[in-house]
Amino acid sequence: MTRSVGDATLKPNEVVISVPDVKTYDLSKQQFRYIILASDGLFDVVSNEEAIQMANSYMQAHGTSALSKVANILCTEALRRGSLDNVSVLILKLVL
């Protein structure tokens, strides 16, 4: 919440950063099937590439209808790896 609402007392000391990681893609020119939205708790211990690889591997075996299971797998993996931050994962299926 501090990043989204803003806590001015924490930002000057760099305790909390308020700069999001933002990338822009033209979805009409790419073959994206899903988007992984997750908190630091996942990405502190799982790289972007690892998260994509885990998601693709599971969906290849079980289909894209199992996206909620992929989110659960990513959360469980972050906890197994010892994440000390909150872990939230949301998978958005893209239908273009």
Segment 7-47, tens digit of pLDDT: 556 556 565 666 667 888 888 887 888 899 999 899 999 99
- Is 17 inside any structural domain? no
CA-based radius of gyration for the chain: 15
- Is 8 inside any structural domain? no
Number of domains in the chain: 1
Q: Are 91 and 67 in contact (CB under 8 A)?
A: yes
Domain that holds residue 61: 25-93
- Is 3 inside any structural domain? no
- Is 9 inside any structural domain? no
Q: Which DSSP state fits 29?
A: S
Mean pLDDT of all residues in 67-74 = 92
pLDDT band at 1 (very low <50, low <70, confident <90, very high): very low
> Alpha carbon 60 to chain centroid distance?
19
- Is 84 inside any structural domain? yes
pTM above 0.85, yes or no: no
